[in-house]
Amino acid sequence: MKIIVAIKQVPVRDSQLRVDAAGKWIQEADLSFEVNEPDAYALEEALQLKEKHGGEVIALCAGPARAAQTIREALAKGADRAIHIEEENLNTLDTLGVAKLLAGAAKAENPDLFLTGLQSDDLGYGQTGVVVAELLGLAHSTIIMQVEVGDRSIRVKRELEDGWFQHIVMPLPAVLTIQSGINKLRYATLMGIKKAKTKEIKRVTAADLGGLPTSTAVIEKIYLPQKTKQAQLFEGDAKAAAAKLVEKLKFEVRVI
């Protein structure tokens, strides 16, 4: 079974973010980066499927040169090889543009499964995997909590609302977006880190995949939320004022 896992490099959680001078993106020069956590769960699921059914796991990452660090981490954890779509201006692309790059690189590999995290920690659109499936013409399912492989088919467990789940049988090849928490994440071993140095990383550019896609959605401006202060007095006795306060906190502020 050949499994491609799309991984993304994102700023470390709790980073102090600052808007750049152009107001179009954040300042990245002084940030540290890590693998997108939902994608880490997709990688773990791919590695466990490989251990059960054999085959290979290919890490696929689109990003600037610094994304090589995240790719090496995936290789150290057990991915067999990687494809790095080197693009310094990835933040200028919308979901469709990024999906076109990923689909272009994946198409030549003809994978049985294409996995990605449910969403990214930085933008959180939750659309990339679904759009890749459409571009590749493959069946897809989202919010996956369990994968069982059959004879040219898979049975998946989807998480719905209010504790409900849905079980679906799907044909292969397919695209799945994996829910965080599906498995316990593994750490890279010392031997894995050493082996990662010798594993193949195929580097391609947007030009190799037909050129940089044109975005249909454009970020016009990024700005910090404006902080405002407002005082409101509740008239009446203590009991009536307390009731009004509870109503405000419950239905407007929504903290209780």
- Residue 97, both tokens: 């543009």
> CA–CA separation, 149 vs 133, rounded Å?
19
User: Measured at the alpha carbon of residue 56, what is the angle toward residues 50 and 62, in degrees to the nearest 5?
Assistant: 115
> CA–CA separation, 247 vs 157, rounded Å?
39
Report whether 119 contacts 129 (CB < 8 A). no
**The length of the chain, given as a count of residues:** 256
Report whether 79 contacts 192 (CB < 8 A). no
> CA–CA separation, 39 vs 117, rounded Å?
4
Report whether 156 contacts 144 (CB < 8 A). yes
Q: Where are the domains of the chain?
A: 2-209
pLDDT the model gives residue 254: 79
**pLDDT tens track, the chain, 256 positions:** 999 999 999 999 888 888 888 888 888 888 899 999 999 999 999 999 999 999 999 999 999 999 999 999 999 999 999 999 999 888 889 999 999 999 999 999 999 999 999 999 988 889 999 999 999 999 999 999 999 999 889 999 999 988 899 999 999 999 999 999 999 999 999 999 999 999 999 999 999 998 889 888 888 888 888 877 778 888 888 888 898 889 888 888 778 7
pLDDT the model gives residue 253: 78
- Residue 20, both tokens: 């750049």
DSSP string, 96-165: HHHHHHHHHHHHTT--SEEEEESS-SSS----HHHHHHHHHT-EEEEEEEEEEE-SSEEEEEEE-STT-E
The amino acid present at 222, given as its one-letter code, is I
- The structure's pTM equals 0.85
Sort strands 153-159 and 165-171 into parallel, antiparallel or unpaired: antiparallel
85's enclosing H/E stretch is strand 81-86
pLDDT the model gives residue 146: 96
The amino acid present at 236, given as its one-letter code, is G
Residue 91, judged by CB atoms within 10 A of its CB (0-12, 13-18, 19+), counts as: middle
> CA–CA separation, 232 vs 254, rounded Å?
16
Architecture of domain 2-209: 3-Layer(aba) Sandwich (3.40)
Sort strands 81-86 and 113-117 into parallel, antiparallel or unpaired: unpaired
CA 159 to chain centre: 17
- Residue 8, both tokens: 């993304």
